[in-house]
Chains A and B, each alone.
Chain A
């Protein structure tokens, strides 16, 4: 095992990343634009994120490529925000905090298992939420139904739905954290 080379051919990595950008590119672009508010910045960060993933030794082994892509991009976006603040403030912010924080680590061999476990645990946690929270979580985040439609079906206001979603999400996170399941991005 230890001597097996994890190097992927350049072509396969290119194919993987281009598939990732085809299937999730628009969503990522939208997410980054919402977070950063600037199209050029959002595009830059998206490109950097693809590059990070391209550099993984076996990107195709990642079991939750979308989660990884969004996390890498979020982290890069945070770096940009910090840098922008540091430049605006003209103060000496500790350099270590400003440098690109996403290390070029290879996907760890245990990452695939970790991602699968995280998914299993999350599904179990969602299953154990109170019924009214579980229902909205599944409708919105698993089935990806539009908010309007969920509100209509459950006969609740959008505001009430948003509150339930936020509570459901926070509870999931609290339980994941209690189980020691911190997010497994590229740290």
Chain B
């Protein structure tokens, strides 16, 4: 079968084993020793090891057209975001349909490269995730976030369907990068900015570096447009309810990346609403007077239990847990 000598095959198999092994998880000390001995035993071993690693790296970097062709050979990942049954947008579903047609129609070999690649990403409650798009731009996804990348040779679009993400955008004047939310859009060149879309549609855009244009469309026309530069923030809602562009300490907007939430004199209900983004457990306020309380401090959002324990020290609340529900009651602070 092979024209090489027999040992070539076995070296190749060993190299494949080590490359795959190293790609999967950490090695034990004895395994590492074995790898080192094997690598140094013969120059051919080291070369094969490099060649196999290169294949893994190349596969990871396949451009969108190759990726799309090959993805057709594998079942969809369950961790990839599933298309909602009820589609809220007309144009993206048309694009998705076009892509699907392209994938179904094109078998291997007769397949022309599709114009665009679309990929969905999601995080579960309490999860964060780093995603590198095919252009090299990076999105850091906070808890309960869904977004979809749609890119082709002259356009880059991210649909933020839910949640919050920090974007690190690679500068490419030929391919504008846009974050699309229902009717509004954030257009950027190379920059770093955070977008948080609440369930009720309220959206906060914070720019850490560079500059972005935010605009909303209504009846096919631009309803409003604002330009934000570093350390500026805007909060807006659908239907043109628009706050002013204001200065902000932008780094605070991405404290979530460190797993903490910084609160400055904010109403307790809002703090709790933020906290529930990170847990599937319920947090209930029993005493209405707690709605009036404002608090400040830093809460760990990776562990709601820890956060609530801390909250007891920051505010006059007592917390009880039953099943999946935490109940907050008013309680004067002990000394």
Residues of A within 8 A of B (CB): 19, 22-23, 31, 33-35, 37, 64-67, 70-71, 74-75, 78, 81-82, 85, 115, 118-120, 122-123, 126-128, 131, 134-135, 137-139, 141-147, 149, 153, 162, 165-167, 169-170, 172-174, 176-178, 182-183, 185
Overall SS of chain A's interface: helix
Collect the chain B residues with CB atoms within 8 Å of residue A127's CB.
69-70, 73, 108
Is the pair A67, B168 in contact by a Cβ cutoff of 8 Å? no
Is the pair A183, B61 in contact by a Cβ cutoff of 8 Å? no
Is the pair A81, B50 in contact by a Cβ cutoff of 8 Å? no
* B24 to chain A: closest residue by CB: A147
Is the pair B46, A143 in contact by a Cβ cutoff of 8 Å? no
Is B136's CB within 8 Å of the partner chain A? yes
Collect the chain B residues with CB atoms within 8 Å of residue A135's CB.
73-75
Is the pair A166, B79 in contact by a Cβ cutoff of 8 Å? no
A-B contact pairs, 25 of them (CB 8 A): A19-B170, A23-B136, A35-B35, A37-B27, A64-B57, A64-B61, A66-B60, A66-B61, A67-B58, A67-B61, A70-B57, A74-B50, A75-B50, A81-B40, A82-B40, A135-B73, A141-B59, A142-B62, A142-B71, A147-B24, A169-B19, A170-B15, A173-B16, A173-B48, A177-B12
Interface residues of B in 31-83 (CB under 8 A from A): 32, 35-36, 39-40, 46, 48-63, 66-67, 69-71, 73-75, 77-79
Chain B: interface residue total (CB-CB under 8 A): 56
6 more A-B residue pairs beyond the given contacts A22-B168, A66-B57, A142-B71, with a C-beta to C-beta distance below 8 A: A22-B138, A70-B54, A119-B62, A127-B108, A131-B73, A172-B55
Give the CA-CA distance A147 to B48 in the complex, in Å. 24
Write the nearest CB–CB distance from A62 to chain B, whole angstroms. 10
Most A Cβ at <10 Å: residue of B36, B58, B78: B58
Known: A141-B59, A174-B9. A123 touches B70 (CB 8 A): yes
Give the CA-CA distance A147 to B32 in the complex, in Å. 21
